[in-house]
Chains A and B, each alone.
Chain A
């Protein structure tokens, strides 16, 4: 048996096809909106990234020494890599910059997971102020998810500024405990902290209500009546109402206590999920303070989706578009001409060079292909319906159906 390291995976067959389709669709759609594809090095210098990495990532780095004697690590995060690159390779007047990527990240596993590598799809819009940026990124993401068959994917939006505002008058150590509890997603600890530590009544009712303010848009009206005057709800309201106008109203909800694990977010944040997947598909948000740590002034918004989770739910329907071409005793160039014709029309083909007709048909069935073509006679067989057609006539009908 050929073993692979614990925490690594090999993809093949329909799963790999589905992942490749997701990857290509993602990059194609974002590229069409002016996002430049970014392909960073897999190996990075520890000295270049160490000071910018949060401790939660530092302790999980997969480190190595290069043959040149440099202390290096496998790329642990794509956003940090992109920002670091942009800060040193682009002049300020070139912003806003848009980048997208489909690549792997490598980190020690987060228990109880064992995976050492994850495949991410992501996009970043760097250096544009205003809500337009949030709406742009989220709506293009919806477009990609729709194309990949995730028409039921939902986005939950929060805003770290709301949590900051709510805690600004709270005693610092209590505020820290409450913030940490929200980051750890422990509402139990959040409420235990409020029980144990005295908080003025005027703050208490709003702090008790905060984690319960989740749901559809109407929850924002409830928030206005429960939260103190001046709570910064305008950004989240604007994003939601714009997405509603674009037809995504049913797929957007609010969570005013939403905190993303990476602590570099500093504004609206969001998470994406599909009712058909067990885990979140991904998430993102604004991260102005991360930019300033690299000397870039302005705002940025970005997100990452887990390619494996996306592909897990939507697997490519195999076979319906695939044709086995049996060369039989025809010269290879004839079979190749048929293959060219079909691939040009968008079909997937596999050439079968065996002289045994039945072996070729059996292989096509095993592969779950719907179609089998005899290159010599130019007749195509529907292996499910057991019908025979002239190739040219069949192509005409197929094109019409398309």
Chain B
């Protein structure tokens, strides 16, 4: 089934690209793009009117034994570069950059990583009201946009992932690690490989989160074959990605998990946070089943791996720089 999708943006590679958000696009290309996007939008709207669905899906998943819920058990993983930057972005030399004599180069702290430390590009995971890839960025308030830029400039000091802190939602779902959904008639539990983060989805809860937490409180219900989870009570400390995209403690995330095939889920999350954004916005992506016969979550207790970073200076005999 044809999915509603805008034509790809006519990006041009430049050799001097310092600010990752400054995508360079010619005016002529943009004009053509918008004409094509408009036509695509009209076609898409007609399609939606015809089918009554914002997102084409005629797949009927197998039922969970003893229940009418679709079975979404399994090990899943996103396959995109959203953890680097959920917005559309081009490849760049490193997450931490400094000005070189002829353009940006990796910061001293990461230069030895070479190509391993480079950032792969990505088309971004924001979608518009039709579920089509969005042409605009995150609708930050001016102050919040300023903070995002500061975060990006201070990435090495500020990204909670660097310190192995719990990732929060939605970031946990598109980090480059698998996660496992353990679902029975009465429960959906999500165990993430990264940092051993966990979520226990409540289905019968009418009590607000008693205290804020890194992973928040997940309240779920089934809407047909879609698992809707409202995530509230998150701390303001987690980020959306390595690019410094952030939120406040007022964030509410409404996730929609829908099986679209035996080995695919469609994941969508709408972000509301009036303290940070001028309006709600939505991300979407497919999630893929890990198909290896021996697929499983491995230990990734990164707490141990960041001890040198966080406490190395307090060793009795600090290691050489």
Q: Do A and B bind each other?
A: no
Residues of B within 8 A of A (CB): none
Residues of A within 8 A of B (CB): none
